[in-house]
A and B are shown apart, each in its own frame.
Chain A
Amino acid sequence: MIFHYLIRGIILSGFAFLIVYLTKSDQLGLYIAPRMETYVKLSAVGLYAAAVYQFYLVFRTWSGSHVEPDCDCDHTPSPSIMKNTMIYGLFLLPLCLGFLLPNTVMGSTLAAKKGMSLNGSVNITRPAAGNTSGADQAAQISETPAGAGIYNGGSTPQSADEMFPSDVYTESYAAYAKKLYAQDSIEVTEKQFIETLTTLDLYRQPFLGKQVVLSGFVYREPEMSSSQFALSRFAMNCCSADALPYGLMVSYMQAEKYKDDAWLKITGTLELTQYNGNPVLQIKASGLENIPAPDSPYVYPDYDFGFDS
């Protein structure tokens, strides 16, 4: 029994210290979104309290003053040594991985597994007829409000409202699009990364030819040409398991110079290109700058988007 208390104490404090270690070295953000961090830190306290209690039991048992504490003990450890080794091994594995392997940022390898989104968050109904891809049509819900405007081919719309038609659901995007359109150079910020990409993709036409500044890591798919890559960021909602890569296609003559997972800040103009049979936005890069990977490599959905005016 004393062995069980001891190893449980070690495991519990191990997890508590793993959380403390990740916090101290500013690496907790690699695993968990900021809104979850407080809870994870609090759980370190809980784990530590439980660990202290296990060590206390070790001491009590060792000094002989301990009587089996309770009660409803459906949790008596199995007598099989083999089984115990396995169970405790299962707990020790994440600890070993956590402490021994260096922490890395999610990059191209995972982006390939998770599937890159080059269209922003595509669940927005695009109020347009001309350039909707087949995939988007599948997403369109039948009841597109009558208020949603339709682009009429090449003719340039006059007013901002005509240029950025919206329905009740895309109002916040239209408002944001007007704000972006007024800027000479559109900077895709960390705070509203997904929202900005979605807005640009939603109202492609007016933004074509506009200057954009974007930073992210280089990601390639086999289908891309040698002068293309995607510049992307992982967007995390809760933890890495639900993180998804979002990005924009970049075209640059000497694209090969930049390796996968290299961090770049790119300035360029927006254009439309075909990729895998669908039209996607692409930055025709004019300025590329190597940057160090940012302290917080991931972006998060902006929950205030659309609520601030």
Chain B
Amino acid sequence: MSTVALRWATPLVTLVCMGLMLLIIMNRDISLLGLDVSSLQSFKIMFISLILEAFPFILLGVLASSLLQVFVSDKMIQRLTPKNPIGGILFGSLLGILFPLCECGMIPVVRRLIRKGMPAYIGIVFILAGPILNPIVYTSTYTAFRSQPQIAYSRMGLAFAVTVIIGLLLYRFMRRSPLKDAHVHHEYHNHDHDHHGHHPGHSHGTRSQHEHAYISSHHHPAHSDHHHHGTGQHSHDEHHRNGSTRRSRFASILAHASDEFFEMGKYLLFGALLTAFIQVSLSRETLIGIGDHPVLSNLFMMGFAFILSICSTSDAFVASSFSGTFNAGSLLAFLVFGAMIDLKNTLMLFSVFRARIVLWIIVLTFVLVLAGSYLFQYFFF
């Protein structure tokens, strides 16, 4: 499903890009496309600012992911993650307090952790809860809603409740690894790595694979950085050849980081492109006109948050500008849903997780946040 969408989306974007470039090169007035120059300028400001804003976070994310890949063994990850599902879910949802990362930085890290043997449901819980349950977001929400601090409390509370429920459901019902395995086949067809033959199926995250990894790391006690992906027979060879692991480790970090930057970056850019385009072409008045309805306002605000795709650290500021027109419950829906799921990160999720899981996560988050926001509205505001 996602592959179909992506197959069509990419050519479409390219066409638009090429058209725009052509117009820039020919110095033609865009107004003949129904767009005027000032709209193009607005589009440029939005697009580039969204990208620049995300860069520090995505770079931090891919760097953290590469460091994990190179320096932390699977065994250690497996030992550190809680075995008990309740503990795991609490761990995943509160990890954001230690690592206040933006969602775009989180996805590469979580994928790496899942590949290294962290239970997938914990990773997904972290992706959902991390952008909200962290000190930076709490402070910014509290500051933006000075006069209604209960918005900040209920944002934290609802986010926590929603992620715990989703975590439990995933733990109970998710049987296969949620990661896309298309990549894995890919990887093995394209590389002539010698894998010692100890990764037959190589589907990540399944229990037998963990055992494999475990066994293999016993096979090679000397190589503490040996991962169950067969982390580069080459780098091992190089270690032996050069006798220095430091240089190849450094190179390995850079290689991982820049590859992952491109892999994540294309979804980020595509998301930013769409977001900028929507923000420039749809006016807020029109949107409010559609959504100004007592019951539908929650739904509307969630949709709006999805389209806006702004960082969870600054969305409270935007939400507060709506408080004249929307009730607290729909603002809460905006603040919780938008930080968990938005256009930009949905594309990134599709790139990493299987489409069916992503759709389930979106549907669950949507339903739970919607119900939760009505409940909070009824009981607390």
Question: Is B a genuine binding partner of A?
Answer: yes
A130-152 with Cβ < 8 A to chain B:
135-136, 138-139, 141-142
Whether B13 contacts A113 by the Cβ 8 Å rule is no
Interface-lining segment among A101-109, A175-183, A263-271, A285-293: A101-109
Interface-lining segment among A87-95, A203-211, A249-257: A87-95
Chain B 355-380 interface mask (CB, 8 Å, partner A; 1/0): 00000000000000000000000000
B218-272 with Cβ < 8 A to chain A:
227, 229-232, 234-235, 238, 251-252, 254-263, 265-266, 269-270, 272
Whether A117 contacts B21 by the Cβ 8 Å rule is no
Contact partner of B314 among A91, A123, A169, A239, CB < 8 A?
A239
- What is the size category of the interface that chain B forms with chain A? 35 or more
State whether the Cβ of B38 lies closer than 8 Å to any Cβ in chain A.
yes
Which chain A positions have C-beta within 8 A of B143? 301, 303
State whether the Cβ of B280 lies closer than 8 Å to any Cβ in chain A.
yes
Whether A109 contacts B252 by the Cβ 8 Å rule is no
When A85-B14, A91-B269, A115-B288 are in contact, do A69 and B234 touch as well, CB less than 8 Å? yes
Chain A 77-98 interface mask (CB, 8 Å, partner B; 1/0): 0000011011101111110111
A238 to chain B, nearest CB (A): 4
Closest to B231 in A: A71
Whether B257 contacts A50 by the Cβ 8 Å rule is yes
A72 to chain B, nearest CB (A): 5
Which chain B positions have C-beta within 8 A of A75? 259-260, 262-263
When A46-B63, A69-B252 are in contact, do A122 and B324 touch as well, CB less than 8 Å? yes
When A90-B266, A138-B324, A241-B50 are in contact, do A71 and B232 touch as well, CB less than 8 Å? yes
Whether B231 contacts A112 by the Cβ 8 Å rule is no
Closest to B69 in A: A72
Looking at B191, B265, B323, which has the most chain A CB atoms within 10 Å of its CB?
A: B323
Which chain B positions have C-beta within 8 A of A169? 146-149
When A49-B254, A69-B232 are in contact, do A76 and B190 touch as well, CB less than 8 Å? yes
Number of residues of chain A lying within 8 A (CB) of chain B:
81
Which chain B positions have C-beta within 8 A of A104? 38, 41, 45
A28-55 with Cβ < 8 A to chain B:
28, 30-32, 36, 39-40, 42-43, 46-47, 49-50, 53-54
State whether the Cβ of A197 lies closer than 8 Å to any Cβ in chain B.
no
State whether the Cβ of A214 lies closer than 8 Å to any Cβ in chain B.
no
- In the bound complex, what is the Cα–Cα distance between A251 and B21 (angstroms)? 43
Whether A110 contacts B254 by the Cβ 8 Å rule is no
Which chain A positions have C-beta within 8 A of B49? 30-32, 239-241
Whether B232 contacts A241 by the Cβ 8 Å rule is no
A23 to chain B, nearest CB (A): 11
Whether A89 contacts B257 by the Cβ 8 Å rule is no
Which chain B positions have C-beta within 8 A of A49? 254
Closest to B308 in A: A241
When A19-B52, A32-B49, A75-B260 are in contact, do A114 and B310 touch as well, CB less than 8 Å? no
Contact partner of A101 among B44, B144, B230, CB < 8 A?
B44
Given contacts A19-B55, A123-B324, could you give 14 more A-B pairs where the C-beta distance is less than 8 Å?
Answer: A8-B258, A31-B45, A32-B53, A43-B56, A47-B55, A47-B59, A57-B255, A72-B256, A90-B270, A115-B283, A117-B321, A123-B147, A125-B148, A141-B328
The contact sample of 26 A-B pairs, CB cut-off 8 A, is: A40-B52, A50-B261, A57-B255, A67-B234, A70-B252, A71-B229, A71-B230, A72-B256, A73-B190, A75-B263, A90-B269, A91-B265, A94-B47, A97-B24, A97-B44, A100-B24, A101-B41, A104-B45, A110-B45, A117-B321, A123-B145, A135-B324, A139-B323, A139-B325, A170-B147, A238-B313
A residues sitting closer than 8 Å to B (CB atoms) are 8, 12, 15, 19, 28, 30-32, 36, 39-40, 42-43, 46-47, 49-50, 53-54, 57, 67-76, 82-83, 85-87, 89-94, 96-98, 100-101, 104, 106-107, 109-110, 112-115, 117, 119, 121-125, 135-136, 138-139, 141-142, 169-170, 172, 237-242, 244, 301, 303, 306
